[in-house]
Amino acid sequence: MKKLGKILSFLVMASVLAGTASCATAGSSATSASAADSASAAASTTAAASGKKEVYSWCCQYNSLPLFVNNDYIGMDLIAKELNVEVRKVGPQEVDLPAFQAAIEQEIAKKPDGMMVVGWDASLATGINKAMAAGIPVVTVDADVPDSDRLCFVGTDWYDLGVEQAKAVAPYLEGKTGTAICVGLPGADNSVLALNGYTATLAKLAPTITVDQKIYDSGSNAQQVASTVANAIQGDSTLLAVAGFDSSGGPGISQAIKEAGKIGKIYGTCVDAEAEHLQGVKDGALVAAVGQKRHFFTYYGVKMLYDYNHNGIKFTADDKAAGISPIPTRVTTGFIVATPENVDLLIAAAAAKAK
């Protein structure tokens, strides 16, 4: 992703093994998986003998973002208590890719029992592969790095997220001809997948709408989104729809549509359904906010790592030699779609959670 961190993209049973993006397939990282199996088993045995808790790391940029604190933290704290393990939060307090890469390198040296990496940039494959080679099992959460040796991805199916936004906006576009733009993290795997899902679905449901294939840079900043969308509105009289693919998108899109006096004329959709996104739906600037079940990202991220180290599932006489992992390669967690019909219920739930 271009700056990465610009994200934020950003609840209870997961839909396991839904398949769109490839995870580390059997045999694709046999050597790394085998090394991880051996080292992790040794680490677990040592930890048990010493009475120390196992340590699992969550590695992310901007890791004190309220979106994370109010969702991802809850999941990881809950599973840490259930499994009696420690979950360590690692990474810079701002969007800083070099600092994030350095933090992953430093964490590898500490030899945790497993690592979750929020895969906001393809370049993170270097650190992920290094950790796997060092015997530290790695899963990606929230955003994937499919070209790495990671064992599993836990999070949103971003293609389907684009599909959900397109399905929500399509009825408002019926009989109209115009354009749609998308705001997110240019070059990020998740934003690209969402754009693809959005485009393919509108081609079927609203074929008279042309989707601009450029991903407009959100900067993970609502004011930047508002400015970007405002410029697009001024520059394109045919603009009818705006989709947001990171957490800053909803508030920024809402602001721009309101300030332009275009409620009911330009239809916004976004990812995430926090209080500020729900307000956009309530105000009419957004026709849908597609919430991610973010608690599951870290809950099942730790669970996958713990199971990798401990479960007794066997597929062959020697799974290590066969390069077979004892955990799923993809866990997708579904959506909560806020619309004008259910937004009051979701606002009430958000208010109760904030108390």
Report if residue 30 sits inside a domain.
yes
Examine the domain organization and report whether 172 and 244 are in the same domain.
yes
Report if residue 16 sits inside a domain.
no
Ramachandran region, residue 206 (left: φ > 0; alpha: ψ -120 to 50; beta: rest): beta
pLDDT tens sequence across 11-66 = 333 333 333 333 333 333 333 344 444 444 444 444 445 568 999 999 999 888 88
Please count the structural domains in the chain.
Answer: 2
Q: What is the mean pLDDT of residues 120-127?
A: 92
Examine the domain organization and report whether 93 and 151 are in the same domain.
yes
Distance CA 210, CA 188 (A): 22
Examine the domain organization and report whether 216 and 345 are in the same domain.
yes
pLDDT tens sequence across 172-203 = 999 999 999 999 988 788 899 999 999 999 99
pLDDT tens sequence across 139-150 = 999 989 999 999
Rg (CA), the chain: 21
pLDDT of residue 189: 81
Examine the domain organization and report whether 307 and 347 are in the same domain.
no
Report if residue 225 sits inside a domain.
yes
Q: Whole domain around residue 147: which residue ranges? A: 21-157+293-336
Q: What is the mean pLDDT of residues 239-268?
A: 97
Examine the domain organization and report whether 274 and 131 are in the same domain.
no
